[in-house]
Amino acid sequence: MASIRRRKPVEPRNTSVQKEEEDEEEEVEEDYSKNKHRRKSDKKSKPKWSCVDNCCWIVGCICVTWWTLLFLYNVMPASLPQYVTEAITGPLPDPPGVKLRKEGLKAKHPVVFVPGIVTAGLELWEGHQCADGLFRKRLWGGTFGEVYKRPLCWVEHMSLDNETGLDPPGIRVRPVCGLVAADYFAPGYFVWAVLIANLARIGYEEKTMYMASYDWRLSFQNTEVRDQTLSRIKSSIELMAEANGGNKAVIIPHSMGVLYFLHFMKWVEAPAPMGGGGGPNWCAKHIKAVINIGGPFLGVPKAVAGLFSAEARDIAVARAIAPGVLNNGFQTMQHIMRMSRTWDSTMSMIPKGGDTIWGDLDWSPEEGYTPMKSKQRNTDTQKASQDGPESEISQTKRANYGRIISFGKDVAEALSSDIERIDFRDAVKGQSVANTSCRDVWTEYHDMGFGGIKAVAEYKVYTAESMIDLLRFVAPKMMERGSAHFSYGIADNLDDPKYQHYKYWSNPLETKLPNAPEMEIFSLYGVGVPTERAYVYKLSPSAECAIPFQIDTSADEQDEDSCLKGGVYSVDGDETVPVLSSGLMCAKVWRGKTRFNPSGSRTYIREYAHSPPANFLEGRGTQSGAHVDIMGNFALIEDVMRVAAGATGEELGGDQVYSDIFKWSEKVNLQL
């Protein structure tokens, strides 16, 4: 039987092609749908990345790099760095402790160290749930591990109450006690350790050395209110003097510790309850000498930049190099500002003395200064003969240092008669620039509004006197707290009863030195390092969550000898404190019997010309004049040790001066 084959009907070609195209379109749509779903899923699962995370990763990378280098340094043979250094630079000198022990010097006067701002450790005693496991762990100093592990929790616990300036509810952060509180700021980064080690070589030990650690965030009087720190310092000095055969103490404050101990000397003799009740002769009985290191007696312009825009030269440069790190949402800087503006101590370093000390629109004591390639010690005859060269320099290039903040380089350089200004003090601050997304990083700029920001910029230039009004305008809550604890003027009559209030005690222009004619006062500081003196500002790009002002890093001069670099005018100093602030009190205001020094306590200036390390194996060097690194300067350590062992200022050789401090002090018209 024949089979029948059925043919499959042949579809028209155009129908088959159409079907294939439809199948392909379905596949594309299906793939697109899957990819879209996957992207949505990834978006939901991917955590939001903020600039706080960026900051934490950067800090983490820096710490890991630092620890790695430190580990490699420690595993090297102990003699290797010294061998390599000596091969390059020649034999190293003996450390001061070894040198002075060979001379036969021994421990005599007990010494008290007074650390400055941020250099002493702080530890947690009580905190919120996010700080579990951190009891008595360092939040400040040490490894700073919690900064990048839990940054927002760290900021919360390092901040003080914005109304009281004391502990926030449920948080207690307290200063670390003992010499370990400030011997090292971080592993391998010494502060007091080198000085302590050298003192130990001539017989000092813990019973003859005392670290007067305190919570450097608080106002000076509040360290007594909350922690009774001033009372403990008083008791420790009395005990050490008695236990060491009646030998008076040598006090060694550094940086802001200089202002803190100035406050202490008034507090200890003032009657209770405001003071310590030690009586008018307490300092004369218990203190041989006060050796101030890097003292910001009259404040620092750097503090103004920090309070105004949470930055200084280093932050401004970092923003210019890597703008995405700090400008992306800018919340990192806002967190820093929110935290630091609760630290009342920062207001102690606002420039004091107004335009009389720091200059006005057309004048400043440092007028005509130019950076020097090298430093030579000034003799008495040299001091009087320096007018000629500097006068020629001032004619070729002039910097208006009295203009601490200028909005625009053209304003900083213009004649004062050509600057049109609109007063900001009575300006209507206008609508708030804050919104709900910024409230977690709230600063007082959010309550100032666009009108207030515009008014600040239109005033154009600020001197030391108008700067106080500026800070009251942009940070009213902070300055309201600060005005209860600090003052920045010059006293007309020091016998006025109002100057018995503690708010004046840390301002050397509004208080008298103790009645202690045998007590010596030293001012030791570095010179030859460019130090911030004035700033060129600009309005930052409009953004709801941004700090509205920033240093204009494009403001620059190509001249190698120019003092304007990256929006910052620099003068001679130790990188943080200008010479004018460190030296004026001992060079003029306290020199001899004056209304500020009625008993005639002797004062001495000892300057140390900066010399950077010859190679990285020298670490931070033994001849540095930088603000913190000077604590390892062999010449400074030797001077401190000789005084502790009984030497007087005259036996050290009197003044040692490399800068123009005596010339600049003559330009300050201050009634003595």
- The catalytic residues are 255, 574, 627
Q: Which residue has the tokens 């200008």?
A: 578
Q: Which residue has the tokens 């001012």?
A: 523
What CA–CA distance (Å, rounded) separates 333 from 309?
Answer: 9
Establish how many alpha carbons lie within 13 A of residue 321's alpha carbon, considering only the half-sphere containing its beta carbon.
6
Query: What per-residue string of b and e applies to 317-338 under the rule 16 or more CB within 10 Å gives b?
Result: bebbeeeeebbebbbbbbbbbb
What CA–CA distance (Å, rounded) separates 394 from 378?
Answer: 20
Contact 332/55 with Cβ under 8 angstroms? Answer: yes
Q: Which residue has the tokens 């700080």?
A: 131
Largest CA distance in the chain: 143
**Start-to-end CA span in the chain (Å):** 139
> Which residues sit opposite 186 in a β-bridge?
189
What CA–CA distance (Å, rounded) separates 400 from 363?
Answer: 7
Q: Which residues have CB under 8 Å from 221's CB, separation 6+?
A: 263, 267, 485, 502
What CA–CA distance (Å, rounded) separates 417 from 361?
Answer: 10
What CA–CA distance (Å, rounded) separates 592 from 587?
Answer: 10
Nearest to 275 by CA among 233, 230, 223, 216: 230
Contact 630/608 with Cβ under 8 angstroms? Answer: yes
Can you say how many angstroms the Cα of residue 184 is from the centroid of all Cα atoms in its chain?
Answer: 17
What CA–CA distance (Å, rounded) separates 294 from 349?
Answer: 13
Q: Which residues have CB under 8 Å from 283's CB, separation 6+?
A: 265, 268, 269, 514, 515, 516, 519
Q: Which residues have CB under 8 Å from 273's CB, separation 6+?
A: none
Nearest to 317 by CA among 60, 530, 581: 530
What CA–CA distance (Å, rounded) separates 264 from 284?
Answer: 14
- Give the number of other CB atoms < 10 A from CB of residue 225: 13
**DSSP assignment, residue 588?**
I
**Which two structure tokens, joined as six digits, stand for 527?**
């010179």
Nearest to 243 by CA among 208, 211, 284: 208
- Give the number of other CB atoms < 10 A from CB of residue 617: 18
- Give the number of other CB atoms < 10 A from CB of residue 171: 18
Cα-based distances in Å from 181 to 116, 176, 198: 12, 5, 18
**DSSP assignment, residue 193?**
H
The DSSP line for 83-112 is HHHHHHH-PPPPPHHHHHHHTT----S-EE
Evaluate the CA torsion angle 186, 191, 192, 197 in order and state its sign: positive
Report the SS3 class of residue 661. helix
